[in-house]
Amino acid sequence: MGCVARQEITPTKIRDHVSRLGELYPPIPLSSIDRTVQNPDLVRDRYGHLLTYLARVELEVDRNVLELLTVLPDVEENDRFFYEDVWQPQEIQHGIILDQLGQDIGMLPSEPMLEVNWKYKLLGALGRFRGIQDVSRLLYYLTGASTERQAVLAYNTFTDGLAELGEQAMVETVITPIKRQEPGHFAFYRMSAEYMVNTYKMKPWQLWLTRMLRKVSYNLVGTNGLPRFKQDMGSVIATLGVDADLEKYAKEIGRLEARVLWANRNGMEFPPYFLTALRESVEMYREYGLGHVRTAV
């Protein structure tokens, strides 16, 4: 990567990227999926909790929009274009479809958390100061990038696992179409974060504050900082089979942030708080089991 000069990112390029995503990937209608499941019991035993976890995370998109509006009262046009016209309509369908499939195989409906955390409200109140709002924006992009990257990896592994079980309908009409939409989301956040750090040029104190806030508040996708979801995330990590080499996984999901936010300081390949969060979830799951996910039968 080192010798290839990265093209400079501009708001126009980001906008073009978002329009392309909108044209390429209309929201997936529930009616387009084939709900045939060859062996519901086996799929439920092996992947039921993963399915419910992913469904919940996807359905929480509506809270994510509220959080965004809370911390970025003066939302930029590109951000609005992305979350309102492309991202939310795509993600909510992911949630609806996965949740339906979960119920088809005997899982309870997932229960998305839709209440905005007080930390976002505090950040929103401080966002009256323009300098702070820039910090919030960068936090939003970094959170989005890490989240989307985890989604891409989860869907990749899920596809392989379902294919192995011979669940072709799920692979072809559900997971593959969903999976196709996630890398474009990641790219939006990556480009936006790179733009802020490299071109828009945030001040040293803003970058410092962003680093501190990431350090103290980093959460894996869908844990919402709560123990019961951290336990469930531990089981997701185990199902994905990445618990044997957490450092490798931390590198996969933390590489971008190590570069953009920490400039690979002292050879950093991922920010240490990624690994801390992964270890915590795995340990909590080993100790206490599943926290929230249940089957209906």
Interface contacts to Fe ion, rule CB under 5 A: 58, 91, 94, 148, 182, 185
Is the Cβ of residue 57 or residue 282 nearer to Fe ion in the bound state? 57
Is the Cβ of residue 113 or residue 275 nearer to Fe ion in the bound state? 113
The torsion angle over the Cα atoms of residues 39, 41, 47 and 53, rounded to 10 degrees, is: 120
The torsion angle over the Cα atoms of residues 246, 250, 253 and 255, rounded to 10 degrees, is: -150
Please, which residues bridge with residue 107 across strands?
Answer: 295
Is the Cβ of residue 70 or residue 147 nearer to Fe ion in the bound state? 147
Is the Cβ of residue 148 or residue 243 nearer to Fe ion in the bound state? 148
Q: How far apart are CB 268 and Fe ion at their closest, in Å?
A: 26
Q: How far apart are CB 128 and Fe ion at their closest, in Å?
A: 30
What's the residue count for the chain? 297
d(CA 26, CA 28): 6
Is the Cβ of residue 83 or residue 284 nearer to Fe ion in the bound state? 83
Q: Which secondary structure element, helix H or strand E, spans residue 124, and what is its range?
A: helix 118-126
d(CA 252, CA 71): 28
Q: Tell me the three state secondary structure of residue 107.
A: strand
Q: How far apart are CB 94 and Fe ion at their closest, in Å?
A: 4
Is the Cβ of residue 60 or residue 134 nearer to Fe ion in the bound state? 60
Q: How far apart are CB 91 and Fe ion at their closest, in Å?
A: 5
d(CA 226, CA 291): 10
Cβ contact 211:152 at 8 Å: no
Cβ contact 115:49 at 8 Å: no
Q: Tell me the three state secondary structure of residue 5.
A: coil
Is the Cβ of residue 86 or residue 284 nearer to Fe ion in the bound state? 86
Cβ contact 19:87 at 8 Å: no
Q: How far apart are CB 90 and Fe ion at their closest, in Å?
A: 7
Please, which residues bridge with residue 295 across strands?
Answer: 107
d(CA 7, CA 12): 13
Q: How far apart are CB 86 and Fe ion at their closest, in Å?
A: 10
Question: Which residues 6+ apart lie within 8 Å of 179 measured at CB?
Answer: 152, 155, 156, 159
Q: How far apart are CB 95 and Fe ion at their closest, in Å?
A: 8
Is the Cβ of residue 135 or residue 174 nearer to Fe ion in the bound state? 174
Q: Tell me the three state secondary structure of residue 6.
A: coil
Q: How far apart are CB 62 and Fe ion at their closest, in Å?
A: 13
